[in-house]
Amino acid sequence: MKNLFSVLRSDQVADDLIQVIETIVDASKEIAFRVRQGALAGVLGSTQDENIQGETQKHLDIISNQLLKDLLLACPAVAAIASEEEDTVVAGTSTGKYLVAFDPLDGSSNIDINGQIGTIFSIYRSQDLIPHGSELQFQQTGSQQVCAGYVLYGPSTLLAITTGKGTRCFTLDSTQGIFLLTADLIQLAPQTQEFAINTSNARFWSEDMRAYIDDLVLGETGPRQKRFNMRWNAAMVGDVHRVLTRSGIFLYPSDSRNPKQPAKLRLLYEANPMALLIENAGGKAWSESQRILDIQPQQLHERVAVILGSADEVDECLSYLRR
Ligand code: AFP
């Protein structure tokens, strides 16, 4: 079986970008060890602190963030990092050619229940003429990512990654400590019978989104005339992995719970990397109004509605929103 770095080299990925990916992989193996140890490593539970998102930080959030931050800032190829757990950009090496944005531990609410959690990462080229530690460095559209991926800490530790030439999945062989290729050039089916959404928010969605989901639930008795099934991991990394594995549609639409915060998922280190993975696997990834990878970021931690997965089903959902 091919290992991650032989695949990256055969794709002619630049050596310094491979160095950045290697650094993320090293941190993720350390995180995977602590996740597996769980209560035995004293990493469960919450701290007394809140991050800039206003979310209570779990011990493992802090540990994962610190591991990634320390290793990436020590990598000469990294000019700056941005993290869900950091208020602002943290400058790295001024001559570094890459920027790394990450959610160190997506799905934190799943930590204490031994559920699926993961690290999501996104890599850009640093921009000349802008200070390397400026937030302006990260105001690049998702289509400018040079690499995106996630590490899923589940029964297996999996790495899904794209550098532009398709989306692949690797499995960590923990006896050797290397990621081996287990799913090459993933292709999503254009249609699906599986959707993922937190239906407890239904009363807060737009009327058109409610109509779309209602018709999925009506199944063969409604206008879609086919049976649908639902899954919800409450960790984007787990739900997106299911979509990459067996197709489907994942939705986190805007809602009226908090008028100041109509969407929940973050553009920079959740929506954009997942959108690149999904598009490079033949799927689609939209907010409620535009292709996610075309969105021009304004704020580091800005949020966006997400509708991604099997292309024909994303189009069907968007047709309801355009009524
Ligand atoms: P946490 O990291 O705070 O658990 O949030 C995970 C997440 O950002 C994303 O991974 C999930 O899809 C979504 O939130 C789940 O949100 P709900 O808890 O509202 O279902």
Domain locations in the chain as residue ranges: 4-183, 194-321
For a mutational test of ligand 1's pocket, the pick from 106, 110, 116, 153, i.e. the residue with the most ligand atoms closer than 8 A to its C-beta, is 106
For a mutational test of ligand 1's pocket, the pick from 64, 236, 261, i.e. the residue with the most ligand atoms closer than 8 A to its C-beta, is 236
Q: How confident is the model at residue 45, as a pLDDT?
A: 73
Ligand 1 centroid distance, CA of 107 (Å): 5
- Nearest CA residue ID for atom 16, ligand 1: 234
Asked if residue 26 belongs to a known ligand binding site, the reply is no
Q: Helix crossing, 15-37 with 59-73: angle to 10°? A: 160
Task: Quickly tell me which residue has 């990294």 as its tokens.
Answer: 78
Asked if residue 107 belongs to a known ligand binding site, the reply is yes
194-321: CATH, from 3.30.420.40, 3.40.190.80, 3.30.1160.10, 3.40.190.10: 3.40.190.80
Between 54 and 225, the more confident residue is 225
Asked if residue 318 belongs to a known ligand binding site, the reply is no
pLDDT of residue 42 exceeding 90: no
Ligand 1 centroid distance, CA of 108 (Å): 8
Please work out whether the CB of residue 109 comes within 6 Å of at least one atom of ligand 1: yes
Q: How confident is the model at residue 40, as a pLDDT?
A: 83
Q: Which of 105, 148, 86 is nearest to 123 (CA)?
A: 148
**Average confidence score pLDDT of the chain:** 96
Please work out whether the CB of residue 238 comes within 6 Å of at least one atom of ligand 1: no
pLDDT of residue 43 exceeding 80: no
Q: Give dist(CA 253, CA 240) in Å, integer.
A: 15
Task: For residue range 85-98, list pLDDT tens digits in order.
Answer: 999 999 999 999 99
Percent of the chain topping pLDDT 90: 90
Q: How confident is the model at residue 133, as a pLDDT?
A: 96
pLDDT of residue 44 exceeding 80: no
Task: For residue range 4-20, list pLDDT tens digits in order.
Answer: 999 999 999 999 999 99
Task: For residue range 125-155, list pLDDT tens digits in order.
Answer: 999 999 999 999 999 999 999 999 999 999 9
- Nearest CA residue ID for atom 8, ligand 1: 265
Asked if residue 310 belongs to a known ligand binding site, the reply is no
Q: Give dist(CA 88, CA 131) in Å, integer.
A: 14
4-183: CATH, from 3.40.50.720, 3.30.540.10, 3.90.25.10, 3.30.160.100: 3.30.540.10
The residues near 80 (Cβ < 8 Å, ≥ 6 apart) are: 89, 90, 91, 92, 96, 99, 100, 126, 132, 133, 134, 137, 138
User: With bands split at pLDDT 50, 70 and 90, how would you rate the model's confidence at 180?
Assistant: very high
Please work out whether the CB of residue 56 comes within 6 Å of at least one atom of ligand 1: no
